[in-house]
Amino acid sequence: MWKIFAPILLVIIVVAAYLLYDKDDREWYSTEKVAIDHGLKIEGLQESDIVSIDKSFEETFVIFQKDMKIGVATISKNDKGFSWYRSTPYASYDTANQAIPYTYFGFDLQSEFGNKYKLFSGIIYNKNIKKLGLFYNNALLQEREIDTNITPIYYFLVKDENYVNTNMQVKEIK
């Protein structure tokens, strides 16, 4: 009889332990600023590595660069406070061909709450470029003023509404 109940009891104990275990072992902070400062620290970044803090789609995105790679974190908020959350690895810029005016690439990311986004980013090599646009099937979705004196890195963030990356283009707007 014990041979029958022992495995069942073991399964019940394992399931109960899993359900009672708090999987969220991140630290939570009283303000968004403190959460960002902590996130920078755990990423090994300085405040000067922040490309932008973007409040879009009712979420806060921290877009940052490290060693010519871009990273994105969201600041999560719940009853515990604010916390840094990064779901995607760093993405590398193509810096091999600096004869072109700018580079761009895109990647998917997801916030802690399951919202899906696409980030398009790149480096501007031609300092005469002052404005870029993100186009989908040749229709302008977003435009961005550029100040290469501050940073040559630019980005566009869109909520994933079944946009296909191959139909997205970044173009200079004159």
Q: pLDDT tens track of the chain, all 174 residues?
A: 545 544 454 444 444 443 333 445 779 999 999 999 999 999 999 999 999 999 998 899 999 999 889 999 999 999 999 999 998 999 988 777 778 899 988 899 999 889 999 999 999 999 999 999 999 999 999 999 988 888 889 999 999 777 777 788 999 999
- Please enumerate in sequence order all residues whose Cβ is within 8 A of that of 134, keeping only pairs 6 or more positions apart, or say none: 120, 140, 141, 142, 143, 144, 156, 158, 168, 169, 170
Contact 120, 166 (CB under 8 A): no
Distance of alpha carbon 119 from alpha carbon 63, whole angstroms = 10
- Please enumerate in sequence order all residues whose Cβ is within 8 A of that of 136, keeping only pairs 6 or more positions apart, or say none: 163, 167, 168, 169
Full set of structural domains in the chain with CATH: 54-72+85-172 (2.60.40)
Distance of alpha carbon 85 from alpha carbon 76, whole angstroms = 7
- Which pLDDT score, from 0 to 100, does residue 4 have? 58
Structure tokens at 105: 């690439």
How many angstroms separate the Cα of 23 from the Cα of each of 46, 86, 103, 110? Answer: 29, 16, 39, 19
